[in-house]
Structure 1
Amino acid sequence: MTNPSAAQNQATPDAIPNSWVDRAPDTVKPYLRLMRADRPIGVWLLLIPCWWGLALGNLALANAGSAGGLIALWHGVLFVIGAYVMRAAGCTYNDIVDQDIDAKVERTALRPIPAGAVSVKQAWMLLVALSLIGLVVLLQFNRTAIITGLSALALVAAYPFMKRITYWPQAWLGLTFNWGALVGFAAANGALRPEAFAIYAAGFFWTLSYDTIYAHMDKDDDILIGVKSAALKLGANTKPWIGVFVSIALILFGLAGVLIGASLAFFIGLLPAAAHFFWQWRKLDINDGHKCLTLFKSNRDAGLLLLLAPLCELAARLI
């Protein structure tokens, strides 16, 4: 078994080297690692769909002759806080459920729970604290946004078990991680409209793409311990399917623009994201773990580039 005192000073292989977490006091370092504070990409991937929905919801307000103004900026900040704590809560819950599996996988064996640096009881206490902070953030929004946010709890609770029963846990993650697009739209607009569901569906296929790339890093261990993933299901056919997934994501994002009555500015704003996805697809080598990790992390940029479309439309309407 891993020595807990040594484990608390060791990051997992895919963490950012020499991050601020490495300089934190030893008493809190395991908890920060449990929260994935040294791996911020997950916060971005949870946050960005919230911003998509927020921007699109403000476009819908503009169509109705209203404007979000400073409240939209305040909502954007709330989503930063909410995404950070809820991603941390999700990772903590995932590690509680997966502790036995994580102990058998080289990349995850040093996570705080299987390494013995944090007990399961301590992890549950952290999870409750983080969830309460997330609830306080959610309660700052309108009734529709609050109900929409709370309705995601079943998806979150079921996610860690999906890799045990289906080859498509990445699809379940897509349903879960992009729920913020609906919450963001509802926070801005006070209601859910077809364009909100279009952008949510776009996020689903985006997540299906990037998390399948990520899953190729673990495929050998997954086979060994008997869990499933889209990487194992698609195998050598992964690359063409990644092309299909990102193409559908772009089409659905464009559909959201059509439904909102967007001008040409919206669709021009999609071009940088399309170029980025093409670059990802060209560079993808499913047998190169380092390249898979690099491309997975590049989806922060992909998501922000997709955000350009509604922002360009908002800017065009202000000019």
Structure 2
Amino acid sequence: MSDLSARVADSTGNWVDTHAPVWTRPYLRLSRFDRSIGSWLLLMPCWWSAALAAGVAHDIRQLPLLVVLFLIGAFVMRGAGCTWNDITDRDLDDKVERTRSRPIPAGQVSVTQALVWMVLQALVGLAVLLQFNRFAVLTGIASLAIVAIYPFMKRITWWPQAVLGLAFSYGALMGFAATFGRIDPAAVALYAGSIAWVIGYDTIYAHQDAEDDALIGVKSTARLFGERTHRALVVLYGLAVLLIGIALVLAGARWPAWIGLAAFALHLAWQIRRLDIKDGALCLRIFWSNREAGLLLFTGLVADAVLRAM
């Protein structure tokens, strides 16, 4: 029988490995609760959108509740998405050094058990979604189609990171949908900017597996860009800052939001300068740092919303 306490290769020293009951660990690892960075990155566009919408509304009374609901929703839905990803990728994961220790290929969890766990998480996500207005509920449900097809994209396109961007940036629409029951042009620009950001940071992440991916035929922007990755990141991150700036203009944002965007841009520039695509550990650290980049922008947007509500 497989050791349920055995850790995933690139996950050490976290609360799941050290404190969670042994029988829960494979399920928590399926959901990546041992590596919460993905949940934070999914959350950032949600929080950006909620704060920007609060600024447009000149009313921050609803913002704390939205922050909490999006926090819960991002963590459980990212967990459901990762579980689905591991179910569909179980044969590929078994061939990659970094992923063969995941619960399904390691034999810690069966596919049926993983499916049940995915459904349970999705039900919690649905309970959160039903706290919003009808338009936001329908908008959120529409995102499931993108989530469902994402795991298959690495088999058919060099741009799976673009599909991930569509999924992980979806929250940029949800803040406006939840606040106003509509999607404003500012939300669309914010969504587009976030997509460019996601493609950039996930390209950095994918460089960890570039050699294994080449051996098994998995496509990615990391393999597509190769030695041109730094130049590609200049374009992608530059586009992200430009499009988010357009969102701020369309939303009538004031100076705190622009300071937040400037700090965000400086962080992205630091990432490009620091990156060495041949250093997998460094790629992972830079990828992780995008949570701080997102929080810098969010702080500026919250300050802007507070200023405009006064």
Scaled to the shorter chain, the TM-score interval is over 0.9
Q: Which amino acid aligns with 2:176?
A: F
The TM-score, its normalising length taken from structure 2, stands at 0.97
Classify the secondary structure of the residue corresponding to 1:313: helix
Q: Which amino acid aligns with 2:78?
A: R
Give the structure 1 partner of residue 63 of structure 2. Answer: 72
Aligned-residue CA RMSD (Å): 1.3
Q: What's the offset of the Cα at 1:18?
A: 4.1
Distance 1:18 1:317 in 2: 40
Among 33, 57, 66, the residue aligned to 1:37: 33
Name the CA shift for 1:198/1:222 in 2 (closer, same or farther; >3 Å). Answer: same
Structure 1, gaps ≥5 residues long: none
Distance 1:266 1:295 in 2: 24
Asked if the contact 1:113/1:119 (under 8 Å) is kept, the reply is yes
Matches within 5 A, 1:203-242: 203-242=194-233
Distance 1:101 1:117 in 2: 17
Q: Which amino acid aligns with 1:294?
A: R
Distance 1:120 1:318 in 2: 50
Q: Deviations over 1:22-68 (max 9, x none)?
A: 32222111111111110010110011111011111112212xxxx24
Classify the secondary structure of the residue corresponding to 1:121: helix
Q: Which amino acid aligns with 2:193?
A: A
Q: Which amino acid aligns with 1:178?
A: S
Asked if the contact 1:21/1:37 (under 8 Å) is kept, the reply is no
Asked if the contact 2:32/2:82 (under 8 Å) is kept, the reply is yes
Matches within 5 A, 1:12-27: 12-27=8-23
Asked if the contact 2:55/2:308 (under 8 Å) is kept, the reply is no
Structure 2, gaps ≥5 residues long: none
Among 58, 62, 66, the residue aligned to 2:54: 58
Classify the secondary structure of the residue corresponding to 2:257: helix
Asked if the contact 1:181/1:200 (under 8 Å) is kept, the reply is yes
1:132 and 2:130 correspond: no
Q: Which amino acid aligns with 1:253?
A: I
The TM-score, its normalising length taken from structure 1, stands at 0.94
Aligned residues between the structures? 310
Distance 2:179 2:169 in 1: 16
Asked if the contact 1:53/1:199 (under 8 Å) is kept, the reply is yes
Q: What's the offset of the Cα at 1:217?
A: 0.2
Q: What's the offset of the Cα at 1:15?
A: 1.6
After the TM superposition, which of the residue ranges 83-92 and 71-80 deviates more from structure 2? 71-80
Asked if the contact 2:72/2:128 (under 8 Å) is kept, the reply is yes
Name the CA shift for 1:40/1:49 in 2 (closer, same or farther; >3 Å). Answer: same
Name the CA shift for 1:265/1:95 in 2 (closer, same or farther; >3 Å). Answer: same
Q: What's the offset of the Cα at 1:16?
A: 4.1
Q: What's the offset of the Cα at 1:318?
A: 4.3
Asked if the contact 1:195/1:259 (under 8 Å) is kept, the reply is yes
Runs of 4+ deviating beyond 4 Å: none
Asked if the contact 1:269/1:312 (under 8 Å) is kept, the reply is no
